[in-house]
Each structure stands twice: as C-alpha cells, then as structure tokens.
Amino acid sequence: MAIGPVELIRRATPAQRRTLLAAALGWALDAFDTMLYALVLAFLMRDLHMNKTTAGLLGTLTLLASGAGGILFGFLADRMGRKRALMASILTYSICSFASGLATSIAMLAATRFVLGLGMGGEWNTGATLVAETWPTEVRAKAISLVQSSWAFGFAAAALVAGPVARYFGWRAVFFVGILPALLTLWIRRGVPESAMWQERAGSNRAVSGSAKDEEDKNSSLLFRKPYLKYALALLFFNFFCLFAWWGLFTWMPPYLALPVAQGGRGFGVMGTTTLLVVLNLFGMFPGYVSFGWAADRFGRRKTFLIYALTAAVLIPMYAAARTAGLLMILGTVVALFGTGLFSGSGIIGSELFPTAFRARALGFTYNGARAMSSIAPLVIGRVGQSKGLGWAFCLCAAGYLLAGITATQLPETLGKKLE
C-alpha cells in the first residue's frame, strides 16, 4: 500500500529526517535567493536602465555559472564529503545575494549573479546525493521528490518577501534579505550526519589504494565510458530541454504579469503578480514535485517523465493566450504542476544510474551541465519577447518540453534498482 508524505517521514530514522530536512531547506533557500532576481526584475530594468535583452543576459550568466558550480561542487562532494560541499554552496549563494543589493551598475550586478550561480549549481547535486545515499531503495524516489518540492516553498517565500519589501524599501533591501540562508549552515555543521555510504567508500579507498588522487582520476573517467556515457548524455539532454523551457518561462513570468499591457505584459502590478505567483507555487509546483515520486513508483520513471513533459508542452500555448486573472491563475497552476514536477525525476533516475564513486559528479554533469547549456533561455526568451511579445516567446518553452518528452524515451527504466 502506498504511503503518504507524513507517514514516510514518520517511519524514517532521525538521521534520515535530518538529511532530508537539510537538503530540502538548502534547495528551498536556493530557490529563494535565485528567484529574487526575477521578482524584482521590473525594478532593476527601470533603475539600471536595462532592456529585456540585457535583463535576460544576466539571467543567462547566472545559469551558465550554475553549470560550472554543479561540476565544481560535485567534485568537492565526492572528494571531501556531501555535507561540507552542501554547506559551502549555501554560503556562496547567500553571500552573493546580499552583495547583489550593493550593485550600482549592470557590471557589478552581473559579477555577483555569476558567483551566486556557482553556489546555486552546487546545492542541488550535493543535497540530492546525500538523500539518495541515506534513504532506502523502496522510498528513495519519494524522499527526493520531497526535497525537490521545497523549491516551491522557496519560490513562494521569495514572492511574499519581494513584493512588499520592494514596494516599501526598494529592490536592494530584497537582495539583503537573501543573506539569511547562511544561518542554515550552522545547523548543518552540528546536526546533519555525513553519508555513511560515502564514508565507507572513502575509507576503503584510503585503506586499499593509498592514493586518493589516482582513485579520483579513475572515477572521473568512468562517467565517460560505457555503459555510463549513453545514460549521461540522454539525461543531460533531457534536463537541457526541460530547463530551457522552465527558465525561459518562469524567469519572465513575473515581469510578464506585472508589466503594463502597453509594454507586452498583463498589467497586474506588483501585489497582483505576487498573489498569482504564490498560488502558482503552493498549488502547482509543490504538488507537482511531490506527486512525481509517487507516480514514478507507480508507473515507472520513464513513463512519468513522458506524461509530465508532454502535458506541459500542450498547456503553455494556452497559458500564453490567456488574458484574465482567473484563467492565468488556473492555467499557470497546472503548467507549474507538470512543468516543474518532472524535475524531481532527474535526481531520482540520476541517483539510480550512477555508482557512489562518482554519483555527485554525474548528477552535477547531467543536471548543472544542462543548466549551463540552458542558460541561453532567459536571453532568447527576452530577445524574442522584445521583438514579438512574451506570449509568443513562451511557445518556444512549449517546444522545449516537447523535445524533453521525446528524449525521455532514450532513458532506461530504473524502478526498484538498488544503489551500487
């Protein structure tokens, strides 16, 4: 009989609960700091005199850095431990979010957003790896889905903070609030255990080979050899198409809703946009993330990918054509459910495809490498939106989900697989 999220957590050990909470909070606060930029984008464009192309370019720069960050922190997680790498990534994006509020030029803002992207890229694969190696096979998909679902709460929290704070204190104060996630590292350092699976492998390597560097070089090369290379490339391109669609849509959704109709928006203003985004996150993204794990255990990983990706592809053009607040809220919520829920699957299937020796690096390569490739999305959507309108540009995001569904057919089914 299937168990719900509450029962899943109740049955877990204290160590499993702490690792789940650490990864979930880290991912939620990653979303919080990352989405602050999109939520104050209309103010930044006004005060720093940016057009849509330049604003999109800054979003692209952050995503490009996240690809490098995923690989960098993946290496650190495999070499120094999942817990230390997780703490380092959280500190990086927190400090750089605060620094974004000090920017007085586009160049300064670009520099802080680039370094923030490094930390943003590192958090996902270190947290997902820690949970995958801590929770048992039969509930791994559900646990990782719960971690992924915390992004919705981080996004909603950012919307709740950014709207009022930007209105009364300005956009700089919004970025200053982004320093708060750094406090999480104090608890992780004292209360979260390291992965026993990683500790066992690290201890075995020291005892047998005596040369950590040679072992790391060997493990790094295995990712690009049979049978792992085929899996890595399939997952890389699946993530690329999904991330292109997601970042293209959700980076530009806040200004699309807030900007006046004369400027290609929907004219709902700051507070109206905040309300729409909070509803979209809590009733769309959150159940989408959570439901994927349960669906993946019921129907299989690959079939669930297809259902979620193709449904999002069909719904986005309908969302782009909507005009009223009610219709935008309903369609946006359903698009968020399917269009973001499938990201739970990347950590699930990635953890099951690759062994412990280079699992964090493999997740970093396939997910954050794809994030770097998809970094063109904010720029492309901004450029097309500037010339043809954002509603039309969003149709490119629908095409991204369609291609993701096609690519998912090349992934193997991993339902029930035990971690190596």
DSSP of 303-348: HHHHHHHHHHHHHHHHHHH--SHHHHHHHHHHHHHHHHHTHHHHHH
The single-letter code of the amino acid at 382 is G
> Residue 12: which residues within 8 A CB-CB, separation 6 or more?
20, 135
Among residues 373, 365, 374, the alpha carbon closest in space to that of 78 is found at: 365
| Number of other CB atoms surrounding residue 89 within 10 Å | 29
Tell me what pLDDT residue 173 has: 93
Residue 129 · residue 196 · CB < 8 Å = no
Tell me what pLDDT residue 121 has: 80
> Residue 129: which residues within 8 A CB-CB, separation 6 or more?
77, 82, 195, 351, 359, 360, 363
d(CA 235, CA 126): 17
In degrees, rounded to 5, the angle at the alpha carbon of residue 281 between the alpha carbons of residues 65 and 5 is 100
d(CA 417, CA 284): 29
- Kindly give the parts of the chain with pLDDT less than 70: 1-3, 203-221, 262-265, 270, 419-420
Class level of CATH domain 13-201+211-408: mainly alpha
Tell me what pLDDT residue 270 has: 67
> Residue 13: which residues within 8 A CB-CB, separation 6 or more?
none
- pTM assigned to the model: 0.72
* The token pair that represents 398 in the structure block: 């629908």
d(CA 74, CA 47): 37
* Residues in the chain, total: 420
Among residues 391, 406, 371, the alpha carbon closest in space to that of 62 is found at: 371
CB-count burial class (<10 Å; 0-12, 13-18, 19+) for 35: buried
Tell me what pLDDT residue 244 has: 94
From residue 282, give the alpha-carbon distance in Å to each of 2, 70, 245, 247, 365.
Answer: 23, 27, 20, 18, 30
CB-count burial class (<10 Å; 0-12, 13-18, 19+) for 2: exposed
d(CA 87, CA 126): 9
The single-letter code of the amino acid at 162 is A
d(CA 24, CA 248): 24
Tell me what pLDDT residue 154 has: 86
* The token pair that represents 253 in the structure block: 């959704």
For the chain, the domains span: 13-201+211-408
d(CA 289, CA 144): 9
Tell me what pLDDT residue 400 has: 96
d(CA 93, CA 66): 10
In sign, the C-alpha dihedral spanning 256, 258, 263, 267 is positive
Percent of the chain with pLDDT over 90: 18
| Number of other CB atoms surrounding residue 200 within 10 Å | 12
Tell me the longest C-alpha to C-alpha distance in the chain.
68
d(CA 160, CA 154): 10
φ/ψ region of 389 (left if φ > 0, alpha if ψ in -120 to 50, else beta) reads left
φ/ψ region of 135 (left if φ > 0, alpha if ψ in -120 to 50, else beta) reads beta
